[in-house]
Amino acid sequence: MPIKNLFRLAAMPSACSARDMAKAVKTRLHIPEPIAAGTTVILSPAQSHHVRTVLRLRPGDPVAVFNGRDGEWRAVVEDGGKHATTVVVDRSLRSQTTEPDVTLLFAPVKRLRIDYLVEKATELGVARLIPVLTARTDVARLNAERLVAHAVAAAEQSHRLSVPRVLPPHRLKDIVDMWNPQIPLFVCAEFGPTRPILAALADSTTGAAGLLTGPEGGFAETELDALRALPFVVAVRLGPRILRAETAALAALACWQACCGDWRTPAAGTDGDGAAPSPQARRTDPQRESHD
């Protein structure tokens, strides 16, 4: 068979996957209310505008709703009047699952780049985002409402079942004073004694972790000296190249997910090589204690 035909066949979905795609609910909405079968939810003005004006959904069209606690549910759009839209919850689509307990602490960067950081960190599965004010932080004010909106939108688009918490900015000293010493804090250091991040993560034995990255100009030497003196801090490096602040934050988060997070988890209904799991392999991850 000619190679071009092989590529053509590989691009064609199977009949089963095509049916699944046709049945999939494409529009997802994060709501704060409890969700159960029969619940009626009034959408926010912004959600109502998006559903009715942007997506042009009509009464009877399906959407998926989630709140980070009750899993994901199918709901049906109803006409709530001229300026309101309601949805009626129909049936459960996915149960809530335990997600990785990883906190990303980062020195704020300029607007467009921090928006990108929050969006991509949400897609990567971060549990909390904490802006940290260091000696060389060049951004003093943040629009928390905008950052939360970016996190919500990214969670909806990436099919997460939760939205990460976006905390207000904290001074570096306050962070280390309040940190739970039982949870490792991996500090991405630009100089001084460090371990390769993958080697350090491989030795981690706790479920939860924190990842701390510095500002544009890097941490001050006094800051790194003080951090290294703390028993829960592990100084790590992110390879031989100089990374932008937002790149370093996302690279560290990706490394953690690959080594310690849910990137190691097989897809539902399969084992690591795509086969159905044996009964002995079907286990539920234990609930991990958060340091909130």
Beta partners for 195? 236
Q: What is residue 83's three-state secondary structure?
A: coil
User: How does pLDDT run across 89-125, given as a tens digit for each residue?
Assistant: 999 999 999 999 999 999 998 878 999 999 999 999 9
The pLDDT value recorded for residue 207 is 87
Q: How far is CA 142 from CA 10, 77, 83, 103, 139, in A?
A: 46, 35, 31, 19, 8
User: How does pLDDT run across 235-289, given as a tens digit for each residue?
Assistant: 999 999 999 999 999 999 999 999 999 998 776 544 455 444 433 333 333 333 4
**Is the pTM higher than 0.75?**
yes
> Following DSSP, what letter does each residue of 217-252 receive, concatenated?
T---HHHHHHHHTSTTEEEEE--SS---HHHHHHHH
User: How does pLDDT run across 8-29, given as a tens digit for each residue?
Assistant: 434 444 444 333 433 478 899 9
Contacts of 157 (CB under 8 A, 6+ apart): 28, 123
Q: What are the structural domains, with CATH classification, of the chain?
A: 13-94 (2.40.240.20), 102-264 (3.40.1280.10)
Farthest CA pair distance, the chain: 66
CA–CA separation, 206 and 278 (whole Å): 27
What is the dihedral angle through the alpha carbons of 211, 215, 220, 221, rounded to the nearest 10 degrees?
50
CB 169, CB 131: distance < 8 Å: yes
CA–CA separation, 247 and 216 (whole Å): 11
